[in-house]
């Protein structure tokens, strides 16, 4: 039985590769308390050295789901300041530094490559490959401001767009966590 030479030339010597990474979002550090206990004990507010805002039971941590793709960063704050309360002056907080249900946006990473080797004879070869990063063009916003639940919400006086506050997602200057889809075409001739 013979092989179709044209079909063989079209489908052979292709290479396909991918790197895929899927995981939960990184935990968000609970806000550091502003009750001045750290200053009284001569400690820093770093993890293990200070105290944190208390988590209010039953109050949702988020105003909007960070993974819903429905956030307008010019209008929406995403973290709920009512979920936290400052311990009384001179008192330790009861909050842990991290909670499993208090995480930043998931950040999938997907890269693909497609290439082909064209062999002209035993020693001459042409390799062409294209690589794509963020191949599905997923929008990954900047992390929201999560340090001060008592921070005032600020807006631009002219546009009315958010410019700060607890749960503010920085959109200014096109700020995003990952760049849009990008491709690189490579070609190598070996002889």
Nearest in space to 81 (alpha carbons), one of 101, 62, 105, 97: 62
pTM of the model: 0.76
Q: Give residue-wise pLDDT tens across range 9-54.
A: 777 888 999 999 999 999 999 998 888 776 676 666 555 557 889 9
The pLDDT tens digits of the residues spanning 136-153 come to 988 888 899 998 899 899
Question: Which residues contact residue 92 at a Cβ distance below 8 angstroms, ignoring those fewer than 6 apart?
Answer: 37, 51
């Amino acid at each position: 039985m013979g092989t179709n030479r044209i079909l063989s030339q079209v489908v052979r010597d292709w290479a396909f590769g991918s790197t895929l990474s899927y995981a939960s979002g990184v935990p968000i550090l609970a806000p550091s308390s502003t009750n001045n206990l750290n200053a009284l004990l001569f400690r820093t507010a770093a993890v293990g050295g200070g105290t944190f805002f208390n988590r209010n039971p039953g109050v949702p941590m988020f105003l909007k789901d960070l993974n819903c793709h429905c956030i307008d960063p010019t209008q929406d704050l995403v973290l709920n300041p009512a979920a936290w309360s400052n311990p009384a002056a001179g008192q330790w907080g009861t909050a842990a530094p991290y909670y499993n249900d208090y995480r930043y946006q998931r950040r999938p990473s997907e890269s693909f490559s497609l290439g082909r080797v064209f062999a002209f004879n035993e020693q001459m070869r042409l390799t062409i490959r294209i690589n794509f990063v963020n191949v599905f063009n997923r929008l990954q916003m900047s992390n929201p401001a999560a340090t001060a639940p008592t921070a005032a919400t600020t807006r631009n006086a002219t546009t009315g767009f958010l410019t700060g506050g607890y749960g503010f997602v920085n959109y200014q200057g096109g700020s995003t966590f990952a760049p849009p889809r990008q491709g690189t075409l490579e070609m190598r001739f070996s002889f």
